[in-house]
Amino acid sequence: MTVNEQVAVDHGLKKDEYKKICELLERIPNITELGIFSAMWNEHCSYKSSRLHLKKLPTKGKQVIQGPGENAGVIDIGDNDAIVFKIESHNHPSFIEPYQGAATGVGGIMRDVFTMGARPIANLNSIHFGSPQHKKTKNLLRGVVHGIGGYGNCMGVPTIAGQTSFDSSYNGNILVNAMTLGLVKQDKIFYSKAAGLNKPVIYVGSKTGRDGIHGASMASASFDEKIEEKKPTVQVGDPFTEKLLLEACLELMAGNSIIAIQDMGAAGLTSSSIEMASKGNLGIEINLNKVPCRESKMTPYEIMLSESQERMLIVLENGKEDEAKKIFDKWNLDFAVIGKTTKSKNIELFFDNEKVANIPVNTLVENSPIYDRKWKKAKIPKKNKIKKDDLKNLKIKDVLQKILSNPNICSKEWIWQQYDHTVMGDTIQKPGGDSGVVKVHGTEKAVAASVDSSAVYCWAHPLTGGKQVVCESFRNLISVGAKPLAITNCLNFGSPENEENMGEFVECVQGIGEACDYLKFPVVSGNVSFYNQTKEVGIKPTPSIGGVGLIKDYKKMITMDLKNIDNRVLVIGKTEGHLDQSLFARNILDEKNGPPPEVNLFNEKNNGETLLKLIDEGLIKSAHDVSLGGIITAISKMCIKGNKGIKLKKPKYLINEIEYFFSEDQGRYLVEITDKDYKKVADILNKNAVHFDDLGIINEKILYINDKTKVTIDELKTFNTSWLLDYMSK
């Protein structure tokens, strides 16, 4: 094929980008070279619209071993142990083909983790779908859930936590964000930087096919009416092969033969070889005839751009080839020496004894485009004037029923019951709590993890929403007794070429950065997913935050279920009665305007650290953070989990019942304590200037609200569990 400007445009490149390529090469690229540039310069691989802003995020801290720039982030959890973790998107593939899109998203993020030498110990996910009434939503939900479960379960890695939401902005573009945690010894961490000359470059894993070609480019484009034509760009996963690949790689890693290792994810052999060469300031020479292929007559273009799954690229020490091959033969995996490192600083490809590509590595990486996109600053919306009479006429039990059965609040048990959350035997807090928790096998330590997002808050005011979602992650970790250590983020937005969308991204990132910096909660890995839109209609801005924390003694872990009758429940943090953008305002009053609740970072840090002190001293019996749906929703879930009731009383504030119980003010927790510990707890809270309210006393099985309203625990369970079960059964 003759390469020209139109062919470049058809590959997703801009006209000026094609011109720049020709200038850098001092010639017109051939079709294979053009394909390589289109893969490396697309949004998904190059971060060309986001790099300027991502640099502003705090990425260092006492526990940080490896920040952004590697396959995954790494944090120190003591005793020579480290946690490797990352979250990534697989949005477009999952909308096109939900089962395989979600499955290969899980497979890809696990490879990112074990590429660094870590055995995966936990999976999480953040999945977002369109309106439940939309014709595609139910099938997409079913396919994605089955894909996540199908891959993770076969790999034998527990899925310990997640998040699911519904919003009409996802009707034409669902989000599937997958996260994995792995455990590794600090002296056995592996990196992707190639080193040394004439070192063998090894291909291992599955054979290369034609599936997934242009997958990375497709992920960097908006959807249109031709969406069905993009199905061939979706990769096909095989978890059983990945399990073999995991074990083979870890066995090889136990020795001293690996110089560098990189999984073949987005853009396949192209990105893996170029990233390794770039980090090592080397060249790589590859004979494409030696790449194991499962389809006949594959071209160099197809081999380089294929995104076939379950493949790795390794640079070995000289003389270690036979030793390594024996391991991969034992696990019945392909093993091929396909090239070597060189001093040329070029990626050189050979096929049928001809040189079919010769590109300086720096033109693909250092010289890739960086855009300082125009963006619009968001204005803080005016507060709504909610009429007190409208609130007085509401029956609180009816409101509670509507809130607890809302698709974004209701129990997601139908989803997580399809995931194996106990395999490996170290899960000590399963899905459904504030965070999932797994023990570090053979120690007293445990690792907590959660994943959170808040598209509504970010849409209303992205700077505040960015802060809030970090704080939500912070609170979810503290609620189980974990010290928050670091985050990974998956930033899902519309087109960066739209000034409003770009403004949402810039200000969300700013908010994330400010919160992470203040809370000493650094960003160690992540992913940006732009162009989440169909025909110019974009999603609400949706940054997903995966938080990781450490519990030094797992016996001190806290759960949210109410424990004992006659114990007391406190609200930690001040309730101001903020209803704008709350679940109550949007779903009961049908009010979609107004600002999100303010975020006070001092209070978030102070309240959280004080609660950790109380937990450490054994004064807290159960805890749950207050978020979507307010105090009444949080306490209802604690009642359901513990099969206990509570007699609630509203403090003598000026705000009314509805405002107190349904507002979504930030920085708050519900905690259960004994009467005998009340004074000690109150003294610590007062000493640290932490506001608290007495909420009520635990009873057998009735939720009383100011003596006027009572709801049985069975009613609460029905309210909360029936919607999703009914929805999926129809």
What residues contact residue 694 under an 8 Å CB cut-off, 6+ apart? Answer: 568, 570, 649, 651
What are the E-state strand segments in 493-629?
523-529, 533-534, 537-538, 542-551, 568-572, 622-625
Which two tokens mark 619? 């004064």
The set of catalytic residues is 44, 90
Alpha-carbon torsion 25, 28, 30, 34, what sign?
positive
Task: Give the CA dihedral 76, 82, 84, 85, nearest 10 degrees.
Answer: -60
C-alpha distance from residue 311 to each of 112, 115, 189, 307, 494 (Å): 11, 11, 19, 9, 31
Query: Could you tell me which residues are beta bridge partners of residue 534?
Result: 223, 537
Nearest to 202 by CA among 30, 338, 111: 338
Token digits of residue 409: 């609040």
**DSSP at 293:** B
Half-sphere exposure of 683 (CA within 13 A, CB side): 6
Euclidean distance between the first and final Cα of the chain, in Å?
Answer: 51
Contact 444, 578 (CB under 8 A): no
Provide the pairing of β-strand 446-452 with 542-551: antiparallel
Which residue, 257, 227, 110, 254, is CA-closest to 180? 110
Cα pseudo-dihedral 312, 317, 318, 324, rounded to 10: -50
3-state DSSP assignment of residue 535: coil
Helix (H, G, I), strand (E, B) or coil at 409: coil
Q: What is the C-alpha to C-alpha distance for residues 586 and 389, in angstroms, rounded to an integer?
A: 18
Tokens representing residue 627 in the block: 């978020």
The secondary structure of residue 70, as a DSSP letter, is: B
- What element of type H or E holds 283? strand 283-287
Q: Taking a C-beta distance cutoff of 8 angstroms, is the pair 569, 659 a contact? A: no
Helix or strand or coil: residue 9? helix
How far apart CA 178 and CA 408 sit, in angstroms, is 19
The Cα-based distances of 248 to 103, 323, 332, 451 in angstroms read: 21, 12, 9, 30
Q: Outline where 285-349 has alpha helix (H).
A: 300-305, 321-330
Phi, psi of 598 (to 5 degrees): -65, 150
Amino acid sitting at position 170? Y
Q: Letter for the amino acid at 712?
A: T
Residue 541, classed as helix, strand or coil, is coil
Phi/psi at 87 (nearest 5 deg)? -125, 140
In angstroms, how far is CA 578 from the centroid of its own chain?
Answer: 28
* Distance separating alpha carbons of residues 122 and 435, to the nearest angstrom: 12
Residue 336, amino acid: A
Give the residue from 723, 722, 724, 540 showing the smallest Cα distance to 145: 724
Say how far apart CA 633 and CA 400 lie, in whole Å.
8
